[in-house]
Amino acid sequence: MWRNFGIFIIIVLFLSVSGCTDIIKPEVKSPTPTATPTPLPNPQYTVGDLVKRNSDDNIGNIIIDYNLKTRKYTVRPIIFDEFGRIYYIKNQKEQSVPFATVESSYPVKTGNINNPYGISEISYTKPKFAVNSIHREEVDKNNGIIILSFDYFTDKYTYAFAYYEGGGTWSYDKEAKHTGRRVAIENQYKK
């Protein structure tokens, strides 16, 4: 009988050492993998970046600051003059705007300045008439103008006279340029 008991003990030891039974070894649980959060992408712009909707625009924004926690830029509207100088628009202050909104609306970076607080302000009135739009006279509907450009610093339109030929066709000579005050032009011609 002791012999059978000895064989039984040897078999149990053999099985436990070979890993076929859990009698002697405690169960070891494998660690649960922890999910590592995917880091959010860095902002596309940095402090002092000058951004525009299109490369030929003369209005854009400057990045004043950004907050990684809220994922927002602090921006302020600016105007570019013909010599590359920039000015803040006097009545438009800083705004907090989401990264995605600024990066999709203002995809063109045109430069960077070191001190976004050292920029002068100018007054600005948004024009009613867009560039390349035609506007009729109040009295003679067959005469009008085509807007060629608007100068934010002098508050004047550059335009050419336009003449209605019928059938929705207008003729004009863009080389025959004239300038006029924004208020006077907007009062004289229909939108």
The predicted pLDDT at position 141 comes to: 82
Same domain, yes or no, for 59 and 100? yes
Closest CA to 172 of 127, 129, 136: 136
Answer for the pair 54, 108: CB distance below 8 angstroms, yes or no. Answer: yes
Which pTM value belongs to this model?
A: 0.56
Q: Domain end: 96, 122, 148, which one?
A: 122
Measured in whole angstroms, how far is the alpha carbon of residue 22 from the centre of its chain? 62
Which segments in the chain show pLDDT lower than 50?
A: none
Answer for the pair 61, 106: CB distance below 8 angstroms, yes or no. Answer: yes
The predicted pLDDT at position 38 comes to: 74
Q: At 20, which amino acid appears?
A: C
Closest CA to 133 of 152, 148, 155, 150: 148
Count of beta carbons in the 10 Å neighbourhood of residue 151: 15
108 vs 180: CA distance, rounded Å: 31
Look at residue 72 and tell me if it is in a domain. Answer: yes
The predicted pLDDT at position 30 comes to: 66
Look at residue 64 and tell me if it is in a domain. Answer: yes
Same domain, yes or no, for 82 and 138? no
Same domain, yes or no, for 88 and 117? yes
The predicted pLDDT at position 151 comes to: 81
The predicted pLDDT at position 130 comes to: 86
Look at residue 29 and tell me if it is in a domain. Answer: no
Q: Domain end: 79, 98, 122, which one?
A: 122
The predicted pLDDT at position 161 comes to: 92
Answer for the pair 15, 21: CB distance below 8 angstroms, yes or no. Answer: yes
Look at residue 180 and tell me if it is in a domain. Answer: yes
Range of the domain at 88: 49-122
DSSP 94: -
Answer for the pair 138, 189: CB distance below 8 angstroms, yes or no. Answer: yes
Q: Domain end: 122, 146, 165, which one?
A: 122
The predicted pLDDT at position 18 comes to: 64
